[in-house]
A and B are shown apart, each in its own frame.
Chain A
Amino acid sequence: MQDPARAYWKANLRLVGLLLIIWFLVSYVFGILLVEPLNSIRLGGVKLGFWFAQQGSIYTFLVLIFVYAVGMNTLDRRFGVHED
């Protein structure tokens, strides 16, 4: 594999890794592991841990996928591997 290909793949893995850390954080850490302590904080009428588990995590997932799509398209262009 030539060097640019390796660099492209590395940049890809870095982006995915970062986004998956956030994915893990909002669901498993905020929604499950730290749900008790977070529940002492309130967001309006909802306990924060509960909110992450039933609302916040889903909104975050959504943002993550679109950030990924935009990020990868930028990466494709930078490395000249975009379609059309």
Chain B
Amino acid sequence: MELQTLIYLVVGATFLLYIGIAIWARAGSTGEFYVAGKGVHPVANGMATAADWMSAASFISMAGLIAFSGYDASVYLMGWTGGYVLLAMLLAPYLRKFGKFTVPEFIGERYYSQTARLVAVVCLIAASITYVIGQMKGVGVAFGRFLEVEFETGVLVGMGIVFFYAVLGGMKGITYTQIAQYCVLIFAYTVPAVFISLQLTGTPVPQLGLGSELVNNGTYMLDKLDAIITDLGFAAYTEQKGSTLNLSLLTLSLMIGTAGLPHVIIRFFTVPKVRDARYSAGWALLFIAILYTTAPAVGSMARLNLTETVQTGPVGEAGANLLYAERPQWFRTWETTGLLEFEDRNNDGRIQYYNDADPDFAERAREWGWEGNELVTVDRDIMVLANPEIAGLPNWVIALVAAGGLAAALSTAAGLLLAISSAISHDLLKGVLMPDIPEKRELLAGRLAMFGAIVLAGYLGMHPPGFAAEVVALAFGLAASSIFPALMLGIFHKRMNRSGAVAGMLAGLGSTLVYIFVYKGWLFIPGTNNLPNTAEYWLLGIQPESFGAVGALINFTVALIVARVTAAPPEHIQHLVEDIRVPRAAILTARR
């Protein structure tokens, strides 16, 4: 069957599935709308959390990031998985025991303060909006690339689908569609990886293929990759390039940020019990780890495939570079998208792909008649998108990858939109403005807030502010420096009071924002940065993306000091803390 028809069929079928689930899982109460009636099985919630968490960036871009940064990309792998350990042990079970609907609600009650609740709402909305812009953009790009429709049309169709199941079903509808979306995206990710691993190393398990010998010459895959790219002047794949301090701090910022992102936290409000929340975090990480441990194999094998396709023999030997006229079909396909671009700088009709930014190597290359790197564009996204074609897989696999990319973007967008709309209808409207609003009207308000959030996200997706790529660092920075410490101290430090928490949140948030803005421009407006964003100007060499961990440390320190010198929280708050620390509120009796 024609590829385009097949893609329409597969993507269309998944959309019908999502809509069907939406009709089946309508929300009838605010409890169902905000937390799916607290009736989601822990394994099901784990799967939904995985889809919620893994965005278009995880699905499409991460393997490419690994392919081109090698070892240094480990920070993303560890950072985006290690956060679940913190979430499982420090937050999820306790917040589930608290048993309410939103993250600001916990902060507001624990710190007996509407101000604290409002600060939390602002942090939540800022972090979630910045995050959802990227998802909407991802939807548009995926549509544009696979369905050959205009970018705007793609975003509109995506908005329509999300609107249908998120407005109708709330958390309940979102949860069950996310489960379906997880199945689609994980299948789409692993099938090409299995086949590529089989072709290169003879083992069907990509995680093992990473450490296996190549079928064609018996050397280990990673050794071969290190050798071939260092011959071309690139840094070795398995070698560390960034500074140890930045790698550690970035990993820590991503971990704390992951644990503090509200759209992930609220997923743990949907399970029936505290023990379910503990297990559910484990299931979520299991489902995430399937993709995250496959990605290093996909990245390294794609880099090897690409390099070996172009460099067919020993580096520097005449005739050892691919003739442009003989390039494979997938090369031609991706050239038409502009993601892969060739420019014959020395007019020899052959492709030279090497690191011309290294002056010594560029010098040597000139002796061979090379006049600069000729693969002028290699977009890292093609490492996943072109994989099925490179492996020579049938068209239905390509169609599946399209559906998988869309599933990843839609599921994350829906989770974020729910976090935003519940903060507006439950925290702002019911919590602050109209405490007496009846449930039916709150549900309606939730739906309207969801509708508004979708329109706003769609608009921002179509007209992304120039800083769209920068703001992801901001989302993690905000979550790490404001939300996570406030939640953790609220559970683990009974003496923590209102003044300490608010001062800590503002100090963490303020310092992180200032540090990012000083180097990246105030509100990311180009030209307004006070210092150039390069290593020699960074404070102690800390890059702005890594500052979230420092912001969290500032938050903890300020909060602890201020709480020490101000009055202890009231009696009933101390009881609340004691209560959330035990799964059952019964009076403890020693049974040993």
Contact = CB atoms under 8 A, between A and B. Distances in A.
B222 A54 contact: no
A51 B82 contact: no
A61 to B, nearest CB: 5
Contact of B85 (A20, A47, A81): A20
Given A2-B587, A20-B85, A55-B293, A65 B77 contact: no
B285 A61 contact: yes
B278 interface: yes
Given A61-B82, A64-B85, A44 B220 contact: yes
Contacts of A84: 273
Nearest to B72: A53
B285 A62 contact: yes
Interface stretch (B31-39, B145-153, B209-217, B344-352): B209-217
Tell me if B's interface is mostly helix, strand, loop or mixed.
Answer: helix
Contacts of A54: 66, 71, 74, 77, 210, 293, 296
Nearest to A67: B282
A64 B88 CA distance: 10
Nearest to A69: B278
Given A3-B590, A45-B212, A9 B581 contact: yes
A55 B210 CA distance: 10
A2 B296 contact: no
A68 B78 contact: no
Nearest to B275: A73
Given A31-B74, A65-B88, A83-B583, A72 B591 contact: no
B238 A39 contact: yes
Interface in A1-29: 1-5, 7-9, 12, 16, 19-20, 23, 27-28
Given A8-B588, A33-B244, A45 B211 contact: yes
Contacts of B583: 76, 81-83
B578 A1 contact: yes
Contacts of A80: 586, 588-589, 591
How many B residues are at the interface, by size bracket?
Answer: 35 or more
A56 to B, nearest CB: 10
Contacts of B273: 83-84
A27 B289 contact: no
A53 B93 contact: no
A82 B202 CA distance: 49
A36 B240 CA distance: 8
A20 B251 contact: no
B223 interface: yes
Contacts of B342: none
Contacts of B213: 45
A41 interface: no
Interface in A29-60: 31-33, 35-36, 39, 43-47, 50-51, 53-55, 57-59
Given A27-B78, A32-B251, A54-B296, A66 B584 contact: no
A60 B415 CA distance: 27
Contact of B77 (A35, A58, A68, A72): A58
Given A69-B278, A83-B274, A58 B588 contact: no
B286 interface: yes
A46 B279 CA distance: 31
B289 A16 contact: no
A72 B93 contact: yes
A19 B296 contact: no
Contacts of B289: 58-59, 61-62
Interface in B141-192: none
B248 A33 contact: yes
A78 B591 contact: yes
Contact of B282 (A9, A23, A69): A69
B211 A61 contact: no
A65 B268 CA distance: 14
A75 to B, nearest CB: 10
A74 to B, nearest CB: 11
Contacts of B248: 28, 32-33
B275 A46 contact: no
B592 interface: yes
Contacts of A83: 273-275, 583-584
A81 B582 contact: yes
Contact of A5 (B88, B89, B582): B582
Given A5-B588, A23-B82, A54-B77, 14 more contacts: A2-B588, A4-B588, A8-B582, A16-B89, A16-B90, A32-B74, A57-B82, A59-B293, A61-B285, A66-B279, A66-B282, A69-B88, A83-B273, A83-B583
Interface of A: 1-5, 7-9, 12, 16, 19-20, 23, 27-28, 31-33, 35-36, 39, 43-47, 50-51, 53-55, 57-59, 61-62, 64-66, 68-69, 72-73, 76, 78-84
| Among all A-B residue pairs, the 5 with the closest Cβ atoms | A45-B220, A53-B74, A4-B588, A44-B211, A65-B282
30 contacts: A4-B589, A8-B588, A12-B581, A16-B89, A23-B82, A28-B248, A28-B251, A32-B247, A32-B248, A45-B212, A50-B71, A54-B71, A54-B74, A55-B207, A55-B210, A58-B292, A59-B289, A61-B81, A62-B285, A64-B85, A65-B85, A69-B88, A69-B279, A72-B93, A73-B278, A76-B275, A76-B583, A80-B586, A80-B589, A82-B584
Interface of B: 66, 71, 74, 77-78, 81-82, 84-85, 88-90, 93, 207, 210-213, 220-223, 238, 240, 244, 247-248, 251-252, 273-275, 278-279, 281-282, 285-286, 289, 292-293, 296, 578, 581-584, 586-592
